[in-house]
Each structure stands twice: as structure tokens, then as C-alpha cells.
Structure 1
């Protein structure tokens, strides 16, 4: 969307891709490390508990990153709506992006609970 509506993008679209790719790696690293600790330890030991903590932190971090992504989309949506530049196709893409972000956030909340 930011490449299509470049004049309303909060930052350069290439930079947005890089930021979210690198931010998305953090929860994956925590999840992988936590899963490795859980797999290699006995239940109830400190290594096992630490692995579970890392997975919980990864889940919360993933939800926070998804909220940041959704707020970036909302900012772009707001800027486009303000200048009345929302054709039907663009509204459909925004709807899909919001639904996708909400599903990821619901999954993170469900996993955290």
C-alpha cells in the first residue's frame, strides 16, 4: 500500500519493509531459543521454566509488533481518507490488512493466556 500511495506514507516503503522484517526476527529468535530450552530440559527445572518464559516474551513481543504494524496501516488509511483518496480497491485492501492484523493479535492473546 505504501508503494501505491507513496505521497501519504509515513516513511519510505523500503524502510518500512526493513524495519518490520528485522523486528519480526526478534520474536522468532526468542521462540526458537525457548523451544530449544524446553526440549532439552526436564520439566520443572530452571532451564525448562526459562524456555517457557522466553516463549511468553516472544508472544507478547509479536503482539506489540503487530499493533505497531496496524497503527502504521491506520495512519496511512487516515492520511488517505483525509484527502478523499480511497477508491473501492484501496478500501478492500485496508479491510484485509486490518482483519489480518486482528487475527494475529487474537492469536497472540490466545497463546499468552
Structure 2
């Protein structure tokens, strides 16, 4: 299995308790919709990221299901309320047992 993605995540490192903060994610990956064919008429296998989720201290705060019509490099911008220090865990799941997990600590003051 080859690596088909690399993730970029923008989150503040420190936030005030109760503050709503912005989270931005972008994943660059080698997408194939599954609709193309080679010159020999063989269908190119689908290779997409199907699901994205974000956990904040083991609580899911965002989830998206993706389909072949989604951008090759999907970007998500969403917001979360700071409750306590901990980890944000971002997970992208795709075809062919593909998975990328990115962990980002956040300090709540």
C-alpha cells in the first residue's frame, strides 16, 4: 500500500477555557474517482478518502462522509469550544485500508 495523503492541520496551541476556536484541516491525496478507464479500457480502481473525523479528548466533535464527487484535496473548517487541555485527534479513512491519524495537543488556560 502506498501513502496517498498528507495532512495539514491549523489549530491554536493555547485557548482560553470556554472560548470557541477554529480548526482547519486539509488533506492532499492521490485521488482516483473510479470512473476513469485506461487506454486499454480497464477501469482505474477507486481511491478516495471516505471519512474524516475529529476527536477532542475522546469526544467526537466533527465527522464527514466523503464521496467520489468531493474535491481531491478536501478542506474542512469547523469550530469547537475549549473545555480542558488535551489532544485533538484527526482521522482520515479511505479505500484500500488507507488511514491517516494526526494528533495535535491543545492547552486550555
More helix by share: 1
More strand by share: 2
Question: TM-score, normalization: structure 1?
Answer: 0.31
Specify the structure having the higher radius of gyration (Cα): 1
**Looking at both structures, which has the greater relative contact order when contacts are Cα pairs under 8 Å and sequence separation is at least 6?**
2
Question: TM-score, normalization: structure 2?
Answer: 0.32
